[in-house]
Amino acid sequence: MQVLSQADGFSDLGSPLFSCVSVQHCTEPDSELHVAVRRHVYSRSVLLEVAVTNNLGDDVSGVSLHLSTDGSPVPVLSEATLDTLADGETGSLLVLINKPDDALFIATLDATLYFDMEGMGETYPVDPVTFCAQDYIAPQALDPQAYGAQWQQLEASVRDVFSLSEMSSAQQLVQELPDHLHMCPVPPTGKEAKDGSVLLALGGSFLHRCPVLLRGKAVTDTQGKGVRLEVMVKAGTEEICNLVLAGILG
C-alpha cells in the first residue's frame, strides 16, 4: 500500500490479514465532499484508508475523520490527517483503530468529517463505515468440475431457508446475490429446474484462504410476496458457513 509507505507511524504495520474487496463510498460521487473508504483488517487493529475529494468550491484545511458507535467516540490508535485539500483535489486520510485479537470485525461506525474553511470549523456527516460478514469473502471463479470437486472435499455444511420479501422474482435474486455476497456464479446458476425453481451455485474464498461454496434454488412466491431461497453452504468450518448465511440478510 503506497499510502502507508509514505505515512509516519503506519509503515511498520506490515501486510493486513485481509483487505475488503469493495471500496465503500460514504457519499455520492458528486457530493461536496466525496468520501471513499478502503478497509484493511490486521490481527489487532483495523485501518481505514479514506480518499476525500473536495468539491466545495474552496480550499479546506485540517481534514480528519471522526468515528463513533452508539454516540461514543471510537478510540483512535493512530491517524494521518490532511493539512490542506485544494478545491477539486483528492487526498488520503488514515485512521487506525483497535480490534479484539483473532476476531472478525463486524461493526457499523458512524462517521463525520471535520475541517476548516475560511477560518471556520465545519463538520460534514457521511454514511457509516461498515464491516459486515460478506466483507471477508472474496470471489473465486470456478468451472463446474472444480466446483464439484471442492464441494465433495469440504466437510462442514449448513442449510437454511430464507423468505426474501424485498425481492420481486427468483431471477432478480440470482442476479444480485453473487455481488452482494462477493462470490462468483458457477453454472448452472440462472437456469430453471424442472420444478420451476431457479438454480444457484456460487464460489468464493474466506480471508483469501479457505474455499466457500454455496448451492441452492430460488422460487418466486405465487402470490407476489417475494422469493423463497433454499440454500446450503459448505466451507472448512460451520462458523464460516454461518458467516456466509448471515451475509444473505446483511
Assign residue 224 the CATH number of its domain: 3.30.310.10
Q: Are residues 223 and 139 in the same domain?
A: yes
Q: What is the pLDDT of residues 151-191, one digit of tens each?
A: 999 999 999 999 999 899 999 999 999 999 999 999 999 99
Q: What is the pLDDT of residues 181-212, one digit of tens each?
A: 999 999 999 999 999 999 999 999 988 788 99
Total count of domains within the chain: 2
pLDDT for res 2: 46
Give 151-210 as a DSSP string: HHH--EEEEEEEEETT-S-HHHHHHHHHHHHT-EE-TTTTPBPTTS-EEEEEEEEETTTE
Q: Which domain holds residue 52?
A: 2-131
CA–CA dist 9, 21 (Å, integer) = 25
CA–CA dist 20, 206 (Å, integer) = 11
**Which stretches within 46-192 are classed as H helix?**
144-153, 170-181
Q: Are residues 192 and 215 in the same domain?
A: yes
Last residue of a domain, one of 73, 97, 131: 131
